[in-house]
Structure 1
Amino acid sequence: MASDIFSEMAIVSCGTLSPELNFLKSEGFLGNAKLFFTTPGLHENVRELETQLIERIAKAKGKKDKVLVVYGGKFCYLNADEPTRTMQTIIAEQGENVVRINATHCMDMMASQEERNRIAEELAGGEKVWWMTSGWLKFRHQVFKGWDKGLANENFPRHTGGAIVLDGIGFTETYMTEQPEEFLEYSDWMGIPIQPCPITLDRFKGLLTEAAEQLGR
């Protein structure tokens, strides 16, 4: 069972993915794995991202021998001062028994590029989409820390297909129901409509299992 694999390790993840990982933990998929999270939205501050990631991995090693890192690659860590320093470089420096999930960013963990293309065609007529996961709703003010309305206007409206939330835990529907004014204000701030796209967590589970199996060798 997958839970038997994960019980042997700790998982260090971007906090933006905490809703999905906590959900998988609650349903037993991750067994007794220990979860550690960095602050959501640190892709805007790579120095702090690196500091927190290394610190969380060190803490995780104090609990389990094997550490699975749930972070994307080039889209999550862009170091303008040291362009050759990548997320994979950081992971490699942490020693043996530390492996990163094979995905480019959190949206890619929820749905592959092919799946996102299909969803964009179905829900947005093939127009350019701003993709999000449930954490981008839950942790809005951290993910978009420092963004004002002007910066929002520069980035979001070009996505003529609007924003689509890849949601495998039903968070968006609950958010829309329980906090409708906040949801509408978020959409107004972005200047584009936000719509949920219910998905399964099958791809995420598969990528986590693949990384766990690599650690288990």
Structure 2
Amino acid sequence: METVSFSDIAIVACGTLSPELNFLKKEGFLDTKHMFFTTPGLHENIHELERQLLQRIAKAREKAKKILVVYGGKFCYVNADEPTRTMQKIIQEQGPGVARTDATHCMDMIADEAERERIAQEVAGGEKVWWMVPGWIKFRHKVFEGWDKGLANENFPRHTGGAVVLDAIGYVDQYMAEHPEEFLEYSDWMGIPMQGYSVTLDRFKSVLSEQARILGG
């Protein structure tokens, strides 16, 4: 993979993806000096999401002329009151020098639809899967803030293939070893089995690099 520099780019991202982004920074792939995160799970509160996103972009502008927003489009920001107001529209309003990752949500940044279908066939016989990334475990109480058991029962059990965590950083194995009771309690709350699935960060790197090139990084 051709090396792309992020040294003159500031990153603004959903906190749900902070484990992967911090991993890439530590690894040296992300040579940016500036990363700003919004609170994980704000897809449940789009007005706060928009407020935090604009505030983080404003802070990023103080540090760099180029800003890469690491957010999905279709599923991360759904405005029922104003359906034509999309994540892409918000980004476009920020003018030149601001780009967004081309993906529908955080899971799509780690594994595209074809890869997820392949994994679902392998681990769940093609049954419907509830996809997650490690941030959905690490920041569980923010991602599912306000959810009770009733709401969980409405949403999770129809995913008969269970929950699959797309794990590119070895998070799930470590979590299960250190907090087995919490892992089992989480699965029990969801009402479906949960398992990690090891993937690489190749797609995520590609998604980030694509926008860095567009920004002229």
**Deviations 1:2-56 (CA, angstroms, capped at 9, x unpaired):** 36x2011000000000000000000110113411000000000000000000000
Cα deviation, residue 95, structure 1: 1.4
Quick one: which amino acid aligns to residue 41 of structure 1? G
CA contact (8 A) 2:72 2:106 kept: yes
Cα deviation, residue 140, structure 1: 0.3
**What TM-score does the superposition give when structure 1 sets the normalisation length?**
0.98
Matched, 1:85 2:85: yes
**Number of equivalent positions:** 216
CA contact (8 A) 1:8 1:64 kept: yes
Specify the alignment match of 2:146 in structure 1.
Answer: 146
User: Where does 1:118-129 land on structure 2 (aligned, <5 Å)?
Assistant: 118-129=118-129
Quick one: which amino acid aligns to residue 32 of structure 2? N
Specify the alignment match of 2:67 in structure 1.
Answer: 67
Specify the alignment match of 2:105 in structure 1.
Answer: 105
C-alpha separation between the residues in 2 aligned to 1:69 and 1:46?
A: 16
Quick one: which amino acid aligns to residue 29 of structure 1? F
* Off by >4 Å, runs of 4+ in structure 1: none
Quick one: which amino acid aligns to residue 110 of structure 1? I
C-alpha separation between the residues in 2 aligned to 1:39 and 1:66?
A: 22
**Deviations 1:78-105 (CA, angstroms, capped at 9, x unpaired):** 0011110000110011111000000000
Specify the alignment match of 1:50 in structure 2.
Answer: 50
C-alpha separation between the residues in 1 aligned to 2:117 and 2:94?
A: 35
CA contact (8 A) 2:91 2:98 kept: yes
Question: Aligned to 1:75, what secondary structure does the other structure show?
Answer: coil
C-alpha separation between the residues in 1 aligned to 2:63 and 2:165?
A: 34
Specify the alignment match of 2:3 in structure 1.
Answer: 2
**Deviations 1:121-168 (CA, angstroms, capped at 9, x unpaired):** 000111000000000000000000000000000000000000000000
Matched, 1:94 2:94: yes
Structure 2: stretches of 5+ with no match in the other structure: none
Specify the alignment match of 1:136 in structure 2.
Answer: 136
Question: Aligned to 2:174, what secondary structure does the other structure show?
Answer: helix
Quick one: which amino acid aligns to residue 56 of structure 2? R
Specify the alignment match of 1:32 in structure 2.
Answer: 32
Specify the alignment match of 1:186 in structure 2.
Answer: 186
**What TM-score does the superposition give when structure 2 sets the normalisation length?**
0.98
